[in-house]
Amino acid sequence: MKIAFIGYGNMANALVSSILTSKNITLSSDIHIFHNKNKDIYELENCKFLQSGQDCENNFDIIFLCVKPKDIESAIKENSHIFLDNQTIISVAAGITINSIKGFIQKDVLIARAMPNLCAIFNESITGLCMPSNMNYNTKDLVENIFKNIGYVRKINENEMHSFTALYGSGPAYIMYFIESFIECENFDSISSDDKALLILQLLNSTSKLLLTTKDISELRSKVTSKGGTTESAIKVLEENNFSEILEEAIKSARKKSIDLSK
């Protein structure tokens, strides 16, 4: 099995680690990583960093596209030398459709799309995975296992990818923004910002564990929202200021951006 990556950021790093630690993949050569920035700083066992696809002659079985959506066309053209018929291409670029990628590559290739999130860096990603129906079983199984090594995988159709990207791909950033706002609230009890951040993260961690024990989040919340109490007072303010509607509009905006990127 010969594997290459175009682009090398956090997501590519997580996927490379997944491949190198997988018991289901036997590499017949080093993983080739085509990355035109600061390539000299990288030293990874079983990996070879190159400036572009013009620098090698390898016939790769699988090529991962791990560049930003705005850079995908230029990255494919810059590395056009490595694309051949019958390869499997896996893109993690938000919004860029399979048809667009085929148009850029102009070869008879099979293309899968994946949308992991930032939590992949410690193997806790939620990944939406779309694979073509004519991809053989062994390849599908291999691709799915690569992403399972970095977290949970949900197989979806390509027409679901925009919504998945908006909610789960960008989701960690929404939660981080909420936590930032929580930390910036007026400090009534004179706790330092660092301690406050630690307490809020522990609150998030323990609440997440609690939520995993129930199928009805609303019912659980109602149990801790005493009538006439402090929690109810706070929830009313959120409801009066349309917190749910604001969040929904934010996610719709992210989905629209994903659609715009596909055009």
Percent of the chain topping pLDDT 70:
94
Report the predicted TM-score, pTM, of the whole model to 2 decimal places.
0.88
d(CA 96, CA 70): 9
Asked if residue 114 has pLDDT above 80, the reply is yes
Give me the pLDDT at residue 136, please: 94
Nearest to 5 by CA among 15, 150, 117: 15
Mean pLDDT confidence for 206-219: 92
pLDDT band at 183 (very low <50, low <70, confident <90, very high): confident
Burial 79-95 (b: 16+ CB within 10 A, else e): beebbeeebbbbbbbbb
Nearest to 207 by CA among 170, 182, 243: 182
Give me the pLDDT at residue 222, please: 92
7-50 pLDDT, tens digit per residue, is: 999 999 999 999 998 887 888 888 999 987 655 556 678 888 88
Asked if residue 58 has pLDDT above 80, the reply is no
d(CA 100, CA 196): 46
d(CA 255, CA 263): 13
Asked if residue 187 has pLDDT above 70, the reply is no
3-state secondary structure at position 216: coil
Mean pLDDT confidence for 90-116: 97
**Structural domains in the chain?**
3-158 (3.40.50.720), 169-261 (1.10.3730.10)
- Which strands, in side-by-side order, build the sheet including 62-65? 47-50, 31-34, 3-6, 62-65, 88-91, 110-115, 125-130, 151-155
d(CA 147, CA 115): 10
Give me the pLDDT at residue 38, please: 57
Percent of the chain topping pLDDT 90:
75
Give me the pLDDT at residue 43, please: 67
**Higher-pLDDT residue of 99, 21:** 99
Asked if residue 189 has pLDDT above 90, the reply is no
Give Cα separations from 142 to 24, 62, 124, 172 (angstroms).
Answer: 7, 10, 19, 27
Asked if residue 156 has pLDDT above 60, the reply is yes
Where do the H-state alpha helices sit in 151-242?
Answer: 161-164, 171-184, 193-211, 217-223, 230-240
Mean pLDDT confidence for 209-217: 91
Nearest to 153 by CA among 118, 105, 189, 115: 115
- Lowest mean pLDDT segment, chosen from 89-93, 187-191, 252-256: 187-191
Beta-strand runs (E) in the chain: 3-6, 31-34, 47-50, 62-65, 88-91, 110-115, 125-130, 151-155
d(CA 214, CA 188): 32
d(CA 251, CA 263): 19
End-to-end alpha carbon distance in the chain: 34
* Mean pLDDT of the chain, nearest integer: 91
Mean pLDDT confidence for 158-180: 95
Mean pLDDT confidence for 181-209: 85
Which residue's structure tokens are 């289901």?
24
77 is written with which tokens? 């053209």
